[in-house]
Amino acid sequence: MRIANTEDIVVIVNKFSIALTKACKKSFKIGRIFTNTNRHKTVPWWTEELAIAMKRVNAFKRKYQRTKNNNNLRNQRQMEYYAEKVQYQTKLKNAKIQSWKQHCNKTSSTNPWNIVHISAAEKISNRQTMSTLQKTNGSHTEDLREKIQCTSEHLIPKDKEEEETEHHKRIRTLMEEPMEKKDDRDFTTEEIRQTIESLDCKKHQEKTALQLKS
């Protein structure tokens, strides 16, 4: 199948992907691989705002603990530290409650423990999504399919014969010619043998099992 436009590329890529997947499933032994890239477990309710608030509390705590020679200043910084700590604990509690409400809203009533099991087993995958792309007319893409289409049209422009140069026309003529010629012949056994013997076998530790039958 020849590629004439971007739609042909999508069709060919899909066919190749399906064929490659089928071949791999039949050839390879598929097993379950468990990888744990996160050494420290994270919590769903933790946010950047809480991280900043925690750093502020630690900063006020250090200032309070380092003030030792001035009792009035120490008491003032103690009160500032306690006030900042109360604000942080309030934000922490609200974040936990809000996270639990979101969890309850997305959990199915038929199997409420499904998401709990997935979270405990660390099987939730964080998929990275592509950002939006700006088109030539100034608008932006809205979904993944539109992003792929926009990228394909930008990298692989449409093949218009009226815009071709003489060089492009010669290339098109050569592409449309049949691959097989009348004077084509098959490789002989001796040609194949000489080609294999010319290969650098030192790069491979194991001997190849390729044998030629004369």
The whole-angstrom separation of Cα 170 and Cα 166 is: 6
β-partners of residue 134 are 140
Structure confidence by residue, pLDDT tens digits, 13-24: 888 888 888 887
Is pLDDT larger for residue 48 or for residue 209?
48
Across 75-82, average pLDDT: 92
Structure confidence by residue, pLDDT tens digits, 102-147: 776 765 655 655 666 666 666 555 555 556 777 778 888 887 788 8
Instruction: Tell me if the pTM is above 0.75.
Output: no
Tell me, what DSSP letter sits at residue 178? -
Q: What are the backbone dihedrals phi and psi of residue 134, each rounded to the nearest 5 degrees, phi first? A: -95, 130
Distance of CA 210 to the CA centre of its chain: 38
Residue-level pLDDT at 136: 79
The whole-angstrom separation of Cα 113 and Cα 107 is: 8
Residue-level pLDDT at 82: 94
